[in-house]
Amino acid sequence: MPRSLFPAATPEARARLEQDPTLKLINDFDWSGNPLGPIPGWPESLKGAVRVMMAASTPMTMLIGDDGILVYNNAYAEFAGGRHPRIFGQPALEAWPEAADFNRDKIDRGLRGLTTTLRNQELMLNRHGQMEPVWLELHYSPVLGEDGLPLGSLAVVHDITDRVLAEKALARSEERLSLALSGSSLVGTWDWNVTDNIVTSDDKFAAMYNVDPLRAGLGLPIEAFLQAIHPNDRDRVGEEIAKALADGSSLQSEYRLLAPDGETRWVVASGRARLDAEGKAVRLPGVVVDVTEQRRISEALAESELRFRTLADTMPQMVWSTLPDGFHDYYNARWYEFTGVPVGSTDGEGWNNMFHPDDQERARKVWHHSLATGEPYNIEYRLRHHSGKYRWTLGLALPIRDAAGQIVRWFGTCTDIHETKLVAEERELVAQELSHRIKNIFAVLTSIISLSARGRPEVKTFADELRQRIYALGEAHDFVRPHSHVSQPPENQGSLKSLISRLMQPYRQDGAERVIFLGEDTEIDDGAATPLALLFHELGTNAAKYGALSVDGGRVELTGRRDGEHYHLSWKELAGPFIGGDAELAGFGSRLISLSIEGQLRGKLERKWEADGLRVEIDLPVDALRRSARLHK
């Protein structure tokens, strides 16, 4: 260390002092080219001031002479950031050019022997490579020489930037909170000085407790506010407040307030007591929130839940619900009565074990398909009864969707259809027996006709035609009779196309269809099947005798078309024998066709003998083809 600063220091003391990096900087600095000159030539008062400054932990700097040469301690070096050590020993105006005017003024005031104190002084400084706002508390004191004249100033620098920013952030937060609270009609705030029993509050809190806002803002005893609490809640609230004051715990109390007009409103008060060093409550600030509407909604929801459960438990069906992923979380009382299982034992995937082993995999696949697609769930399966037997059950479920279309829940029912299923099976047996007997009647008729015609050759042709017509009636009957899932034919039952395909089977050639259906198909019922069967039987028979089906390569195209409330069907024979002109048909078959179409089905029929084959145009009312259409009329 320069001996001029610490002339009496021992080697050990000098070694210790040189551990301070700024003291070492003073020792190593080349003062010969500086306006201050070498340290031994400094005034003793300046040396003494530098010694005091270097030992201080508070950021300090000297602004010496007309140029304000900077000499500072280690704490100021940290404040200078990236500017240190370049600015050490430099004129202040060059060291901090962004604050040149500010420093020029302080240098001049110090040389005039003036003291300056600044609080919350904001400066824009470049300490870390970019300009940033800095808030400082500054105190400038003149440093006097042996002649009593000022040599410069000693500046004590307190960086309060973090504190100011925190205060600004807090002010902004308080402002936002104030705006939020003032904009809300549901939240009020209070602060209770427990020691003096003075409660101050905002206007909303005062209004909730029927207190004049001006008086509440100035402060009132807590008893002035407690009077608004419903008498049935007042003692309980008092006990909760006393407990919060006693142990410093949080106050969380829900109670009713009475308005001057007698209206009751629910509020939730929240706060925490502030304790002194002795653990005694001195303040209790907090907020109160009006929860009347939430309370009403909660009560309405509870009432709705009660109504739903009451309705579900009084229904004869088993009712259940699941989460969107299919997790079963609710069953009504009927489910537990039917199955006899403990409550909650079939939550989640446990319900699948209630099905008959042969139905479990099928039921699981159908349910997972509904979950994946959102399609309604519809299945029949056997469900284990509390008796241990399995009973047939109809399972139905629909998804509940939110406003965005997302499934939020599934609601479903299980209906015991065991007796209905047994009755249906019995009815199927009866229907099959009845059908069998009707077919036997057709067979008996056919046999009678054959026997009757055997001794009378002149009626053989008529008998053959009659047998074929009876065959067509038998096919129509078998086609439209009720079927079970066992007897159901593979084709689409009740379809005009499938009826024609079945009736025209005898006219196939080498396995290929010769009567081809094109266009739009339509549904038919038993009322329409019989006349249509007779129609196509007669057309097919005539085509096989005289028309397109009587020659190799001939064929028939049937084209269907729906037009509003009418269905149009066109029979066109192709590649048949040449027809020279219009033919007239007045036989029984022709009359049978007209009777079937125009009489029974209320339609229209028109024949056209074209050069390449017969064309028959048939126009039928849709409601004559199927019962469902007639019911919608």
Q: Which sequence spans correspond to the domains of the chain?
A: 11-165, 184-295, 315-416, 489-633
How many CB atoms lie under 10 A from the CB of residue 195? 11
- In the structure, what pLDDT confidence band is assigned to residue 199 with cuts at 50, 70 and 90? very high
pLDDT at 582 over 60: no
Q: Average pLDDT for residues 119-136, to the nearest whole number?
A: 94
Does 489-633 match 11-165 at the fold level?
Answer: no
User: What's the token pair of residue 426?
Assistant: 């019995």
Rounded to an integer, the average pLDDT of 204-225 is 91
Tell me the pLDDT band of 628, cut-offs 50, 70 and 90: very low
What's the pLDDT at 632?
Answer: 42
| Encoded amino acid at 284, one letter | L
In whole angstroms, what is the distance from residue 110 CA to residue 62 CA?
10
Residue 436: the pLDDT is: 56
Write the CB contacts of 185 (distance below 8 Å, at least 6 apart in sequence): 204, 290
Check: CB of residue 586 under 8 Å from CB of residue 624.
no
Per-residue model confidence (pLDDT) at position 88: 95
| Least confident window among 115-124, 187-196, 260-269, 428-437 | 428-437
- The percentage of the chain sitting over the pLDDT mark of 70, rounded to a whole number, equals 82
CA distance linking residue 537 with residue 48, whole number of Å: 134
Better-scored residue on pLDDT, 472 or 416? 416
Per-residue confidence band for 2, with pLDDT thresholds at 50, 70 and 90: very low
Residue range 303-325: mean pLDDT, rounded: 78
Whether residue 342 has a cis bond before it, omega within 30° of 0 = no
User: According to the model, what pLDDT value does residue 236 have?
Assistant: 94
Host H or E run for residue 567: strand 566-574
- For the domain made up of 315-416, give the CATH fold: Beta-Lactamase (3.30.450)
pLDDT at 493 over 60: no
With contact defined as beta carbons under 8 Å apart, do 229 and 254 qualify? no
Q: Across the strands, what pairs with 152?
A: 64, 143
Position of tokens 């064309």? Answer: 615
pLDDT band per the 50, 70, 90 thresholds, residue 329: confident
Q: Are strands 318-322 and 281-290 parallel, antiparallel or unpaired?
A: unpaired
pLDDT at 308 over 90: no
- Which residues touch 553 (CB under 8 Å, ≥6 apart)? 575
How many angstroms separate the most distant Cα atoms in the chain?
168
φ, ψ (nearest 5 deg) of residue 435:
-60, -40
Query: Angle 509-511-513 (CA atoms, 0-180°, nearest 5)?
Result: 65
Tell me if 222 sits within 8 A of 199, measured CB to CB. yes
| Residue 351: pLDDT over 90 | no
Q: Which of 99-113, 420-434, 481-495, 529-543 has the highest mean pLDDT?
A: 99-113
Q: Please state which CATH class domain 11-165 belongs to.
A: alpha beta
Residue 193 is predicted with a pLDDT of 93
Architecture in CATH for domain 489-633: 2-Layer Sandwich (3.30)
Give the chain's length.
Answer: 633
Q: Which of 26, 16, 4, 19 is nearest to 73 (CA)?
A: 26
DSSP secondary structure, 14-42, as one string? HHHHTTSHHHHHHHHS-GGGSTT--GGGS
Higher per-residue confidence, 449 vs 68: 68
When the pLDDT of each residue in the chain is averaged and rounded to a whole number, the result is 83
The average pLDDT across 364-380 equals 92
Q: What is the pTM of this model?
A: 0.39
Confidence category of residue 486, pLDDT binned at 50, 70, 90 = very low
SS3 content of the chain, % helix, strand, coil (to 5): 45, 25, 30
For residues 595-622, b (16+ Cβ closer than 10 Å) or e, as one string? ebbeebbebebebebeeebbbbebbbeb
CA atoms within 13 A on the CB side of 348: 4
Q: Rounded CA gap, 113 and 105, in Å?
A: 13
pLDDT at 444: 60
Q: What are phi and psi of 53, to 5 degrees?
A: -65, -40
Whole-number pLDDT of residue 370: 94
What is the pLDDT at residue 293?
Answer: 86
pLDDT in tens, 246-282: 988 889 999 999 988 888 999 999 999 898 888 899 9
What whole-number distance in Å separates Cα of residue 227 and Cα of residue 206?
A: 12
Mean predicted confidence (pLDDT) in 227-243? 93
For residues 79-83, give the mean pLDDT: 94
Tell me, what DSSP letter sits at residue 292? H
More confident residue, 107 or 39: 107
What CATH number belongs to 184-295? 3.30.450.20
Predicted confidence band of residue 312 (pLDDT cuts 50, 70, 90) = low
Average pLDDT over every residue of 570-592: 71
- Burial of 59: CB neighbours in 10 Å, binned 0-12, 13-18, 19+: buried
**465 compared with 158, residue with greater pLDDT:** 158
Whether 161 shows a pLDDT value over 60: the answer reads yes
Q: Does 633 have pLDDT greater than 60?
A: no
- Each residue of 54-67: pLDDT tens digit? 889 999 999 999 99
pLDDT of 197 higher than 70? yes
pLDDT bucket at 1, cuts 50 / 70 / 90: very low
Residue 433, pLDDT > 80, answer no
The answer to whether 43 and 50 are in contact (CB under 8 A) is: no
Please report the pLDDT score of residue 157 as a whole number: 96
Which spans in 322-400 are helix H?
A: 333-339, 357-373
